[in-house]
Structure 1
Amino acid sequence: MTPIRLLVVDDQTAVRDALAVMLDLDPDITVVGTAADGEDAVAAVDEHSPQVVLMDLNMPVMGGVEATKLLHATHPDLRVVVLTTFEDDESILAALHAGARGYLTKDADRATIIQAVRSAHAGHSVLDPAVQSRLLTLASRTPAPEPDTTVPLTAREREILDLIGQGLRNSEIARQLYITEATVKTHINNLFAKADLHSRADAVRLALTLAAGSPPNH
């Protein structure tokens, strides 16, 4: 398998260099470049054509959220995984809304970061357990809107949505439902299109909203 081309973005030189060396040791990853801020990251993406970007948030010149939003607009196939010290609601939601496919805190160990890079490259969303817990808490605090009955979810789509809400990954959903992962992805793509979802976090919030007492759509 061709190694995943990774760009590491962090304004702290020691952290940036350590991450680059550590991740480049993995046979599935090749670190093609580093950047010290969001503006450098945008230029580095054009220069090095990475497939995944590991992005810090709080940086000078251009922060990680702004850079992620710009990269998502100009390079829609590029996967961005946030790696930051911040796990507050505002930072998490801003990054996910900007188009990040993953969100990890810097407490994550090497194996977790590597798995996040692999998963993002494969098209999956990756959330740090603490981040996912905060999203679930936020969703539970948010007044549940009336379900949009103009969005007809099939029984299978609703079933998959419920499992996403429980935090299951695509491979785990496939095993539980005895279907292929490709079939799961097809249902998720249809679900996201119907319900105008833009991230795994949006799906979790919808699942919790529907589970709060709304009947499933068929």
Structure 2
Amino acid sequence: MSDARPRVLVVDDHPLFRFGLCTVLAAEPSVELVGEAATGAEAIATARELTPDVVVMDVHLPDMTGIDAARAIVGERIDTGVLVLTMFNDSESVFAAMRAGARGYLLKGSGQDEIVRAVHAVGRGEAIFGPDIATRVLGFFNAGPELAGPVFPELTAREREVLALIANGVSNPGIASKLSLSPKTVRNHVSSIFTKLHVADRAQAIVRARKAGLGDGG
């Protein structure tokens, strides 16, 4: 993008927040608001249609994570910059967003001026993070690569444990025994894993897990 106003797409599933953010950006003369979306699928389709310079994206969306949506958008058009604007400030979300191609990460509650500055920075191809996030990122790089984020950051630590056992061919009763969980809890974890990884069954989950290095196939 040149010095022209960045063309911005806003993606958030909360109507009031999305309306407020769109109102702020629409009133900002240095920014051109071109569209909005409430789901990951809408975001991908709208970004494909409108080719915005910057997509301001929440992590939590009803149909997929904003991280997955960001990965798809950047994968289709590398020039599109993604600015994550979310309430999630955990390390897993931050580094998953970076790996997906996001250039910026701010927390909801950031000031209007800070958001506008971040939009411009991301539009110019720069990386920008809120103060708390920047400290976390710097700490990560200072600590070294051995602290790299886990595979499948969208899963909880317990779900990754369950997935690793699934990848090793352990049955639900076996997982319940190994992790001292009830059969119902294991079923709930397995269902959540399938949903988050967008797989239909155990076989597909095993393939994805082993490709990521989990289980005997790692």
Normalising by structure 2, report the TM-score. 0.63
Q: Distance in 2 between matches of 1:126 and 1:137?
A: 15
2:100 is the alignment partner of 1:88 = no
Equivalent residues in 2 for 1:41-190, closer than 5 Å: 41-142=43-144
Tell me the equivalent position of 2:25: 23
Deviation, structure 1 residue 134: 1.3
Aligned positions of 1:2-41 closer than 5 A: 2-41=4-43
Give the CA RMSD over aligned residues. Answer: 1.7
Which runs of 5 or more structure 1 residues have no equivalent in the other structure?
A: 146-218
Paired residue total:
145
Maintained 8 Å contact 2:48/2:73: no
The whole-number CA distance in structure 1 between the counterparts of 2:42 and 2:32 is: 19
Helix, strand or coil: the match of 2:122? helix
What corresponds to 1:150 in structure 2? none
Give, in angstroms, the shift of residue 130 of structure 1.
0.2
Unaligned runs of 5+ in 2: 148-218
Decide whether the 8 Å contact of 2:13 with 2:37 is kept in 1.
yes
Query: What is the CA–CA distance in structure 1 between the aligned matches of 2:62 and 2:17, rounded to whole Å?
Result: 15
TM-score (normalised: structure 1):
0.63
Taking the aligned partners of 1:111 and 1:17, their CA distance within structure 2 comes to 17
Identity of aligned residues (%): 37
Residue 123 of structure 1 aligns to a residue in which SS?
coil
- The CA deviation at 1:141 is 4.4
| Offset of residue 114 of structure 1 | 0.2
How much has 1:48 moved relative to structure 2? 1.8
- Distance in 1 separating the partners of 2:139 and 2:79: 30
- Offset at residue 13 of structure 1 (A): 0.4
Runs of 4+, deviation exceeding 4 Å: 140-145
Secondary structure (helix, strand or coil) at the match of 1:81 reads strand
| 1:129 to 1:48, Cα distance in 2 relative to 1, 3 A | same
Distance (whole Å) between structure 1 residues aligned to residue 4 and residue 145 of structure 2: 46
In 2, Cα distance between equivalents of 1:75 and 1:42: 11
| Distance in 2 (alpha carbons) for counterparts of 1:143 and 1:43 | 35
Cα drift, residue 35 of structure 1:
0.4
Whole-angstrom CA distance in 2 between matches of 1:82 and 1:143 = 23
Tell me if the contact between 2:89 and 2:107 (Cα under 8 Å) persists in the aligned partners.
yes
Counterpart CA distance in 2 for 1:112 and 1:93 is 21
In structure 2, what is the Cα distance between the partners aligned to 1:40 and 1:52? 15
Q: For the pair shown, which has the larger CA radius of gyration, 1 or 2?
A: 2
User: How far did residue 38 of structure 1 move?
Assistant: 1.2
